[in-house]
Amino acid sequence: MNLQKIMILPSLIFIACFLAGSPVFGQGIELTDIQTSPSQIHVGDSFQINATVVNDSPGTIYFHGGCQPPLSAIFDKNVALGQAMGCFAIFNIELKPGKNTTVVGPSRDNSYTATSSGTTNANVAFSYETENKSENTISKLFTFDISERTSVPEFPSIPVVIFTLATISAIVIVSRKNHNLFKL
């Protein structure tokens, strides 16, 4: 019985040392600086989400680019995902340890559309693969506001303004009593 205890103790010490020295992927990969583009969103606007991915892990990570973005979001309310025609441009991007990059979602062929105003929560997720082909996802909660669209009257174009001023001037000139244009 003592022999079993003696064999188990070194085994546990070996396993603990091995695990302590082995990095766990998913640790050291971080989403920062999450924001919408454009920064101000109104009802009816299409928008994307940008985030910075920081690789502080000891290994290189890989993620998709092109039409299959690595960044996605699930919204609690106020947003719809617009689907476009399929796209087949998919490529892998490599992010080395100690580096960071900006990722965008959804792809250009799809869009998030603001459907109603209010504070909106998004669970933003970044999917990637490690050197040993292990698939991982990290996520972060992001909150932003969607505003009602305000109707601001547009200023008429310059040719319209010039035409209107010329017409008013002509009417004023013609309507003067001492103008002889219409006298016979």
CATH code at position 71:
2.60.40.10
Q: Is residue 166 part of a domain?
A: no
Q: What is the mean pLDDT of residues 35-61?
A: 95
Q: Is residue 16 part of a domain?
A: no
Half-sphere exposure of 78 (CA within 13 A, CB side): 19
**CA 98 – CA 120 distance, rounded (Å):** 32
**Digit-coded pLDDT (tens) for 5-32:** 454 544 444 444 334 333 444 478 999 9
Domain of 120 in residue numbering reads as 26-147
Q: Is residue 183 part of a domain?
A: no
Q: Is residue 99 part of a domain?
A: yes
Q: Is residue 79 part of a domain?
A: yes
Q: Is residue 164 part of a domain?
A: no
Question: pTM of the full predicted structure?
Answer: 0.65
pLDDT at 51: 96
**Digit-coded pLDDT (tens) for 101-148:** 999 998 777 889 999 999 999 999 999 999 888 899 999 999 999 999
Q: Is residue 162 part of a domain?
A: no
Identify the weakest region by mean pLDDT among 14-18, 48-52, 57-61, 174-178. 14-18
Report the domain count for the chain. 1
pLDDT at 65: 78
DSSP letters, the chain, are -HHHHHHHHHHHHHHHHHHHHSPPTTTTEEEEEEEEESSSEETT-EEEEEEEEEE-SSS-EEEEEETS-SEEEEESSSEEEEP-S----EEEEEE-TT-EEEEEES-TTSEEEE-S-EEEEEEEEEEEEETT--EEEEEEEEEEEEEPPP-PPPPPPHHHHHHHHHHHHHHHHHHSTT--TT--
Q: Is residue 4 part of a domain?
A: no
pLDDT at 68: 75
